[in-house]
Amino acid sequence: MLPREIGQLTKLKRLDLRYCSRLKRIPPGVFCKLSRLEELSIGDSFVEWGAEGHSSQQSNSSLAELKALSCLTTLEIRIPNAKIIPKGFSFEKLQRYIIFIGEASHWDWNWYWVAEYSRTLKLSLQTSISFLNDDVKVLLKKAENLFIDDVKGVEILLHESEVGNYFQQVKNLHIQNGGMIQYIFKDIDDVHKIEFLQLQSLTLKGLPNLISFCSTNKGSTSISPQEIALFKQKEIISTDKIIQETSKSRALIRFPRLNFLKLKGVQKLIRICHEDYTVDFPALTVLEIENCPELTGFIHNSMRKDIPTHEVLFNNKKITISHLRNVKRIWYNQLHTNSLSMLKELTVKECDSLLNIFSPFLLRVFQRLEKLMLTNCASQEEVFQLQMQELDIEETYVIDSQLREMSLICLPKLKHVWTKDHKGKFSFESLQQVRIQQCWSLKALFPFSIAKDLQQLKRLAIASCGLEEIVSKSVEESDLQEIRFAFNQLSFLKLWFLPYLTYFYPA
């Protein structure tokens, strides 16, 4: 129990009760006497708040007592039920807060990312935000870090007016565990602008029935009802202007400060980008997509000739894609060379329908890629597809990949890392580390045309594979031709459990 004598410290400005795991009772009348208190930190040490107007010797302090703390600017508190927040309870003066509202089986108070923001609000909702206390909505308006969890019985989470009024300062938005949610917010015809100008991180997790980010009231739409449309066609998210697009034009969708995007467990998501949209994430550095089983493509395959393809889609440095059972192709050949020009690291794992990663067109797009990891992709047959009759590359032009590290693990149907014949138009001379493991359909690792340029290769590890040769012989090489290649920088070589290995090079 908190001693009643604490109430006699009338000049107290800071009270920290965090990590008091045995605190079960705070007597009524203690907090209301601390009129000069500026900082109150309770955390999850105490949650047994009493009802307003029911004080007794055995009861606990109620939240209504905090009304007397007119100097309060910092508050860390857990409120198990939004209904016990008294009317007229004002959060307006709060400059810093960590407030959890609602019941939850497990509250992780020590989130690593809580400390990054001055105003954190976590809601475990039983209804929509529309029915929240007006005083709680003040917290929504000021929150930088917003976590919405365990939403029940709601198909549309937000209305656009709520987004406009309450989400202007949010930097991190995390929405999870909404079994019935079909839309994040509802389209209102007279609202043409939704801005998340401060948003840096967006996570959608455990939303099995999510159909679209935005629903529509209109009779027709160019968006298929089974794909995620982040914002409606007439909206352009920009820091300085709104451009109204006609229905015949391609809409531009901008997230000017978003640097982290994670989609996890969105069961009905089919596509991320539709052909009628140009999506711009100029600050995005990390993209993670996990367990979206209906996702069939990353960028929609647009055949429309009126759609420009020169936009920079992302400034990602890292992309992780996993557990996408139906994806056969992650991106399409219409991508311009600048669309993913900043990407340094790509990880793809457990995508059972994926056949290949890089076509010749896409090698230009991913020239700056430095690290590649492919794991547990059951249908993967090829990594770098270097042969394509339609490929139009000037004879003197060489695509010089910056790839330095490559790991290929548990790819049972992998037949080729590189296709053999590319006539010297592709170079992987920056490659330094290669790891191949459990690829039993792979008969040869390096085509000679690739191996001859690997002057910087330092580490080569191959284990549990069906390899017959490390470097394969080119079909254009004659037996009389002198063949030279050397791995001069190689300092680590591991060849383990390769029962079919016959040659390092068959010549």
Q: Tens digit of pLDDT per residue, the chain (507 long)?
A: 899 999 999 999 999 999 898 899 999 999 999 999 999 999 888 989 987 766 666 589 999 999 999 999 999 999 988 888 888 777 888 999 999 998 765 555 555 667 788 999 998 876 667 777 788 888 888 999 999 888 887 887 876 556 566 777 888 888 888 888 887 776 554 444 455 678 888 888 888 888 766 665 443 222 233 333 343 222 222 222 222 232 334 445 567 778 888 888 877 777 665 555 556 677 888 888 888 887 765 554 444 433 344 444 567 788 898 988 877 777 765 566 677 778 899 999 999 988 878 876 677 778 889 999 999 999 999 998 776 554 444 444 567 889 999 999 999 999 999 876 556 677 899 999 999 999 999 999 999 889 988 999 999 999 999 999 999 986 555 555 666 778 999 999 999 999 999 999 887
Instruction: Identify any residues that bridge with 101 across adjacent strands, giving them in sequence order.
Output: 79, 123
Percent of residues in the chain assigned helix, strand, coil, to nearest 5: 10, 25, 65
Q: Are residues 103 and 228 in the same domain?
A: no
Residues 170 and 297 in one domain: yes
pLDDT at 244: 28
pLDDT at position 422 is 57
Return the DSSP state at 190: T
Instruction: Examine residue 295 and state whether it is found in any structural domain, yes or no.
Output: yes
Contact (CB, 8 A) for 30 and 5: no
The C-alpha atoms of residue 332 and residue 325 are separated, in whole angstroms, by 18
Do 257 and 331 share a domain, yes or no?
yes
* Domain match, 105 and 159 both: no
HEC profile of 260-277: EEEEECCCCCCCCECCCE
- Structure-block tokens of residue 423: 């006539």
The per-residue pLDDT for 494 is 97
My answer on whether 19 and 53 are in the same domain is yes
For tokens 């693990």, the residue is 409
Spatial distance between the Cα atoms of 457 and 441, rounded to a whole number of angstroms = 24
| Dist CA 301 CA 419 (whole Å) | 24
Eight-state DSSP code of residue 483: -
pTM: 0.70
Q: What is the DSSP letter of 206?
A: S
Contact 379, 413 (CB under 8 A): yes
Bridge pairing between strands 39-43 and 14-16 = parallel
Give kind and range of the element (H or E) at residue 252. strand 251-254
What is the residue type of 173?
L
d(CA 138, CA 33): 25
Ranges assigned E (strand) in 302-429: 318-322, 345-349, 356-358, 371-375, 382-384, 399-400, 405-409, 416-418, 426-427
CA-based nearest residue to 226, from 196, 183, 169: 183
Determine, yes or no, domain membership for 140.
Answer: no
Are both 217 and 275 inside the same structural domain?
A: yes
Q: Kindly report the CA angle at 484 between 478 and 488, in degrees rounded to 5? A: 160
Number of independent structural domains in the chain: 3
- Judge if 386 and 347 occupy the same domain: no
Q: Domain for residue 369, yes or no?
A: no
pLDDT for the residue 245:
31
- Are 96 and 18 in a shared domain? yes
For position 240, what pLDDT does the model report?
27
- The predicted pLDDT at position 405 comes to 98
* 47 and 103 within one domain: yes
- Structure tokens belonging to residue 221: 């739409």
Helix (H, G, I), strand (E, B) or coil at 365: helix
In a domain, 481, yes or no: yes
Write the CA distances from 152 to 148, 248, 268, 308, integer angstroms.
11, 38, 18, 42
* Residue 133 pLDDT: 78
Element (H, E) at 139: helix 134-142
Residue 266 and residue 190 share a domain: yes
- 191 with 313, same domain: the answer is yes
The residue range of the domain holding 65 is 1-111
Residue in 394, 331, 388, 340 with CA at minimum distance from that of residue 364:
340
Does the residue 365 lie in any domain?
A: no
Classify residue 193 by its DSSP letter: -
Does some domain include residue 200? yes
Written as six digits, the tokens of 315 are 């400034």
In a domain, 146, yes or no: no
Is residue 204 located within the same domain as residue 296? Answer: yes
Asked whether residue 21 is assigned to any structural domain, the reply reads yes
CB atoms within 10 A of CB 47: 18
Beta-bridge mates of residue 124: 149
